[in-house]
Amino acid sequence: MLRLARLCGLSLVTIYGLEAAIGDIHRYAQSNKLVAYFGLNPSVCQSGHYEGGTALKRHGRGPLRALLIQSAKKLLQVPNPLQKWGLAVAARRGRNKAAVAVARKLCVAVWHVLRGHVIGALERLDSLQTKLGKLATDFGLAQIKALGYENKEAFIQEKLYLLKSYP
């Protein structure tokens, strides 16, 4: 779960939902399988020489698809590695289609992070520290002490060190 906290735009609620829905990432041999699981893949309409428009299939995990699209809409508003690309798509295709496209890229990034691959859409350290602070607050001081940490700050600093050491 800590590795997902490194991604831009993912809140704790989204991370909890992704972890619960995905389970073992090795069930998905390729990133497009995870994208299809969330229903973020475009459909293909072909018959003879006709090749129609491509809309979302809208099957899969609807609530988590909505969380990823909400995260993508937030990513389009704040400076991050995906914003420039997403705004270029928004200029061509519209803001909603751009949000879905960014959500799809975010889903692919989730697959890569859970597989242990190196990616570029990582969170800044100050934002990451805020996320870890919220996680520590969710745990509560009693749980943090049960895990062997003196206080909330010690928990945050050790987890930041772990996240920096991931590839």
pLDDT tens digits, 72-117: 998 888 887 788 888 999 999 889 889 999 999 888 888 988 888 7
Classify residue 82 by burial, with Cβ atoms within 10 Å: 0-12, 13-18, 19+.
Answer: buried
- In the predicted model, is pLDDT for residue 20 greater than 80? yes
The HSE-up count of residue 28 (CA atoms within 13 Å, CB side) is 21
Helix (H) or strand (E) holding 46: strand 46-47
- Of 31, 108, 29, nearest to 68 by C-alpha is 108
- In the predicted model, is pLDDT for residue 167 greater than 60? no
Report the b/e string of 41-72 with b at 16+ CB within 10 A.
beeeeeeeeeeeeeebeeebbeebbebbbbbb
